[in-house]
Amino acid sequence: MQLKRVAQATLPTPWGDFLMVGFEEIKTGKDHVALVYGDISGETPVLARVHSECLTGDALFSLRCDCGFQLEAALNAIATEGRGVLLYHRQEGRNIGLLNKIRAYALQDQGLDTVEANLRLGFAADERDFTLCADMFSLLDVHAVRLLTNNPRKVRVLADAGINITERVPLEVGRNPKNSGYLDTKALKMGHLLHPHNDD
């Protein structure tokens, strides 16, 4: 176990009142947060979203990616379902950090795609470690989930970390002219299950 559960409080949102649970990485002191909706106890798999931090998309209205749209849609889906959990996994920029993500965006402004930019900076295409998410689920006593994601690798890695994923639930929202190429690269190079156009 890499985390400890530290504090919890109500978080009212436009979609309803969530329980916000704060965690701390034992080694580094870095914090993470889970938003819990309704009663997630029992055997029935829980609708869950593992959301990777994206300051630009989640808080600064960036249209370069789909993160902000996915965050809203996931909270809406969980509240509509009546029970569920969103893990806010604080590994910004697929874990290269905010400043390196800005460097990667600068390279993308020059024509590289999201994968090429990471490689040019000396990183893997995706540096995230999802074992922390498994620990958050464990500390919430959640052992089976229906995972909101378009990324099959995330399903595999979380399953390898011990999470029982009974279903992948697509979360395809927010395509726009500014992020269309980025989404196409995620589909082509990273295997995300995204439709090429939003005109269906």
Residues in the annotated binding site for Zn(2+): 54, 65, 67
Binders in 25-54 for Zn ion, by CB under 5 A = 54
Active site residue 146: no
Under rule CB under 6 A, how many of the chain's residues touch ligand GTP?
21
3-state DSSP of 47-107: EEEEEECCHHHHCCCCCCCCHHHHHHHHHHHHHHHCCEEEEEECCHHHHCCHHHHHHHHHH
Q: Confirm or reject binding of residue 163 to ligand GTP (CB under 6 A).
A: no
What is the edge-to-edge ordering of all strands in the sheet holding 31-37?
3-13, 16-25, 31-37, 84-89, 46-52, 144-148, 164-169
Residues in the annotated binding site: 49-54, 65, 67, 70, 92-94, 114, 149, 154
Candidates 40, 92, 133, 136; binder of ligand GTP (CB under 6 A) is: 92
What gap in Å lies between CA 49 and CA 173, rounded to an integer?
14
CA distances from 69 to 22, 52, 152, 166, 176 (A): 23, 13, 19, 24, 11
Active-site residue identified among 128, 135, 175, 199: 128
Active site residue 126: yes
What gap in Å lies between CA 137 and CA 7, rounded to an integer?
15
The site partner of 186 among Zn ion, ligand GTP, none (C-beta below 5 to 8 Å per kind) is ligand GTP
Candidates 151, 157, 174, 175; binder of ligand GTP (CB under 6 A) is: 151
List residues near Zn ion by CB under 5 A: 54, 57, 65, 67
- Point out which residues bind ligand GTP (CB under 6 A): 52-54, 65, 67, 70, 92-94, 96, 101, 104, 114, 118, 149-151, 154, 171, 186, 192
List, by residue number, the catalytic residues: 126, 128
